């Protein structure tokens, strides 16, 4: 698949990662406690404030960048919205990623000449 549809498979992987990141953010907004844990949870080495501080001091550390690299986080702590607004933004991004995933799946199946009855099984 990677040799046949190089660009599409890369775009598909990026769309999957974008979906996972937005879903993680969406699920974190369900309750105030889960949102606080996501932002600054004590003992949570993946909390957003800690990762932002590490990124600002040392670089890297799992943030997305302009080159379509998808990290564990898309936004830094100073770019994040309130919990309810962030929930809406994450929902929009989930839907956009799902649309991209479905479109790219169809393109990949067409490039690889997979018959429609077998596309359900993949």
Give the model confidence (pLDDT) of 10-49 as tens digits: 899 889 988 998 999 999 999 999 999 999 988 888 888 8
Contacts of 83 (CB under 8 A, 6+ apart): 29, 32, 35
Cα(114)–Cα(97) distance, rounded to whole angstroms? 23
pLDDT bucket at 114, cuts 50 / 70 / 90: confident
8 in helix, strand or coil? helix
What's the count of helices (H) and strands (E) in the chain, helices before strands?
A: 5, 0
Taking the complete model, does pTM exceed 0.85, yes or no? no
Neighbours of 53 (CB within 10 A): 14
> Torsion angle, CA of 39/41/74/2, rounded to 10 degrees?
-160
Decide if pLDDT at 97 tops 90. yes
């Amino acid at each position: 698949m990677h040799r046949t549809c190089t660009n599409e498979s890369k775009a598909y992987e990026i769309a999957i990662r974008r979906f996972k990141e937005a879903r993680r953010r969406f699920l974190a907004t369900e309750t105030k406690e889960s949102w606080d844990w996501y932002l600054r949870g004590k003992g949570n080495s993946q909390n957003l404030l800690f990762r932002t501080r590490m990124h600002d001091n040392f670089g890297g550390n799992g943030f997305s960048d302009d080159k379509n690299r998808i990290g564990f986080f898309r936004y830094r702590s100073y770019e994040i919205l309130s919990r309810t607004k962030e929930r809406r933004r994450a929902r929009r991004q989930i839907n956009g990623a799902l649309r991209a995933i479905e479109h790219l799946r169809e393109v990949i199946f067409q490039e690889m000449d997979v018959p429609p009855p077998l596309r359900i099984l993949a």
